[in-house]
């Protein structure tokens, strides 16, 4: 597509991406914007980031940029760093020569399940396009002539509202099972329909997600649930039997759409979309606290009954056990798992409504998250005691915001006014004995 046939302008491209493109071009290399940024620009959307593809090797890229670092083992990439802005530069990928009998001809080295193990083979732009996942991601914008090169009819599929895998879908999913998650995410983000041959194998191959490293699943979790399409992504993943691979401890409970677990997850993601689309933030710690609350609570009750532990102690042990188990599926960094545990502990501490304890609790750094989660639990469970507790904390905070003492209603059950409390009798101060006159 020559420049006069498409709507992409250099004014829409980040300044740093243009610097990378021009330096590669001046260095005698091919340089293209590729993938999601080209797709989004064609759709009139603002790209989240700009990726570059080139025929320069990673070492050649590094020689051109002093602010470049090379990353990756499975496939080496160059990151050109401009402060917080990172432009990812990839060398065109090619087809891997056969290295053993288990590797199909023209593919990289694979595991028994078909997962790509090594991919550091470089090729032409045509080969690179064949190696990309979806047709709508195989479009290239050239800095040399400002044309778009479409190798897989991606423009046609965009116009038809279709998301289609390049190549045989089952083979491509086996090569990288995360493509099943990406199919859901792109379909909801772009409003596309997953084409039938790309849709049908997903449920059958869902188990392959067990082979994905927990750190990579954590990254995919953030992309799916922290960008304003959490509810739609959850429903899509649930439909194809994929969500349980993120939170295996909920797999059985989520089969019942009337269960507290299902209602909690669904409402959590609806609320997440409302906040994000309203310009507010959501921490992953809160998401994990809500997702794992019922497994933690059930395990804590079991520990309390079997071991005779106090409620709070049982909760702490259960929290550690559940987080450790969850980390086998999603590697939750401590900066999120520890605040999640604080939110769980606050569900116990928020039951303490005596004025002095309540005032101290307001200063807890995770109080607001714990309070919000208490309200969410109340909505899900319809429990009168939880509702009363939520109302108490709502009124108590209002009292503090206007600088006054909490109302009688906000003091919680059993709390007394200061004037109602019995007066403490003050012990009389002991007098010092008078100094005796000294003998002269």
The rounded distance, in Å, linking the Cα atoms of 392 and 254 is 32
Q: How many CB atoms lie within 10 A of CB 71?
A: 11
Q: Known catalytic residue: 98? A: no
Place of tokens 């005032």: 359
Q: Which of 51, 128, 150, 342 is catalytic?
A: 51
Calculate ∠ Cα 133-138-141, nearest 5°: 150
- Catalytic residue among 40, 119, 128, 133, which? 133
Q: What is the DSSP letter of 202?
A: H
Closest by CA position to 292, among listed 325, 269, 258 = 325
Tell me the three state secondary structure of residue 51.
Answer: strand
Antiparallel, parallel or unpaired: β 51-54 and 85-91: parallel
Count of Cβ atoms closer than 10 Å to residue 118 Cβ? 13
- Known active-site residue 342: no
Q: What is the DSSP string of 88-153?
A: EEEEPB-PPPP-STTSPTTS-EE-TT--EEE---B--HHHHHHHSSBGGG-EEEETTT--EEESS-
Q: How many CA atoms lie within 13 A of 37 on its CB side?
A: 21
Distance CA 300, CA 316 (A): 8
Q: Using CA atoms, how far apart are residues 16 and 82, in angstroms rounded to an integer?
A: 7
Q: Which of 256, 252, 282 is nearest to 269 (CA)?
A: 282
The C-alpha angle with vertex 89 and arms to 85 and 90, in degrees rounded to 5, equals 150
How many CB atoms lie under 10 A from the CB of residue 232? 18
* 418 burial type by CB count under 10 A (0-12 exposed, 13-18 middle, 19+ buried): exposed
| Element of type H or E holding 64 | helix 58-64
Question: Does the annotation mark 51 as catalytic?
Answer: yes
CA 289 to chain centre: 13
Report, as residue numbers or ranges, the catalytic residues. 49, 51, 133
């Amino acid at each position: 597509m020559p420049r006069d046939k498409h709507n992409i302008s250099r004014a829409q491209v980040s300044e740093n991406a243009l610097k990378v493109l021009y330096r590669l071009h001046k260095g005698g290399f091919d340089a293209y914007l590729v993938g999601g940024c080209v797709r989004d620009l064609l759709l009139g959307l603002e790209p989240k980031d700009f990726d570059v593809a080139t025929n320069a090797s990673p070492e050649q890229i590094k020689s051109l940029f002093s602010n470049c670092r090379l990353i990756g083992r499975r496939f080496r990439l160059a990151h050109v760093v401009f402060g917080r802005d990172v432009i990812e530069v990839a060398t065109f990928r090619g087809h891997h020569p056969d290295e053993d009998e288990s590797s199909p001809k023209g593919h990289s080295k694979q595991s028994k399940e078909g997962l790509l193990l090594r991919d550091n083979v470089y090729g032409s732009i045509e080969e690179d396009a064949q190696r990309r996942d979806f047709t709508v991601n195989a479009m290239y914008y050239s800095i040399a002539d400002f044309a778009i090169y479409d190798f897989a009819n991606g423009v046609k599929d965009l116009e038809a509202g279709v998301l289609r895998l390049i190549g045989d879908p089952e083979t491509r999913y086996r090569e990288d099972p995360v493509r099943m998650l990406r199919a859901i995410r792109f379909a909801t983000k772009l409003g596309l329909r997953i084409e039938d041959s790309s849709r049908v194998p997903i449920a059958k191959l869902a188990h392959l997600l067990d082979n994905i490293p927990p750190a990579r699943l954590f990254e995919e979790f953030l992309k799916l649930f922290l960008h304003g399409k959490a509810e739609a992504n959850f429903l899509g993943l649930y439909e194809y039997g994929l969500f349980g691979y993120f939170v295996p401890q909920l797999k059985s409970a989520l089969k019942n759409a009337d269960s507290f677990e299902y209602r909690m997850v669904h409402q959590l993601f609806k609320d997440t979309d409302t906040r994000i689309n309203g310009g507010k933030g959501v921490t992953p710690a809160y998401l994990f606290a809500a997702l794992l609350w019922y497994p933690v609570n059930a395990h804590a009750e079991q520990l309390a009954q079997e071991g005779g532990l106090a409620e709070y102690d049982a909760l702490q042990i259960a929290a550690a056990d559940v987080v450790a188990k969850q980390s086998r599926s999603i590697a939750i960094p401590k900066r999120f798992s520890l605040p999640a545990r604080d939110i769980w502990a606050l569900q116990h501490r928020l039951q303490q409504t005596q004025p002095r304890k309540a005032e101290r609790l307001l200063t807890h750094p995770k109080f607001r998250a714990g309070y919000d989660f208490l309200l969410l639990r109340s909505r899900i469970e319809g429990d009168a005691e939880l509702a009363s507790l939520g109302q108490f904390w709502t009124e108590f905070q209002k009292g503090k915001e206007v600088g006054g003492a909490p109302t009688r209603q906000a003091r919680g059950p059993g709390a007394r006014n200061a004037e109602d409390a019995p007066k403490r009798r003050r012990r009389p101060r002991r007098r010092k004995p008078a100094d005796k006159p000294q003998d002269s």
